[in-house]
Amino acid sequence: MNIGILALQGDYVKHARAVEKLGHTSICLKEADTLQKCDKLIIPGGESTAIIRLIEKLKLRPALLEFAAEHAVMGTCAGLILLSKIPGNLPFPSLGLIDIEVERNAYGRQIDSFIDTVQITLNGQEQDFEGVFIRAPKIKKYAETVEILGYHGTDVVMAQDKNILVCSFHPELTNDLRIHDFFISSVD
Provide the pairing of β-strand 40-43 with 84-86. unpaired
Active site residues: 77, 170, 172
CB atoms within 10 A of CB 125: 8
Closest CA to 31 of 58, 1, 67: 58
Cβ–Cβ under 8 Å, residues 10 and 45 = yes
CB 178 within 8 A of CB 16: no
The DSSP annotation for 48-111 comes to HHHHHHHHHHTT-HHHHHHHHTTSEEEEETHHHHHHEEE-SS-SS-----EEEEEETTTT-SGG
102 contacts: CB under 8 Å, gap ≥ 6? 80, 81, 84, 86, 87, 88, 137, 138, 139, 140
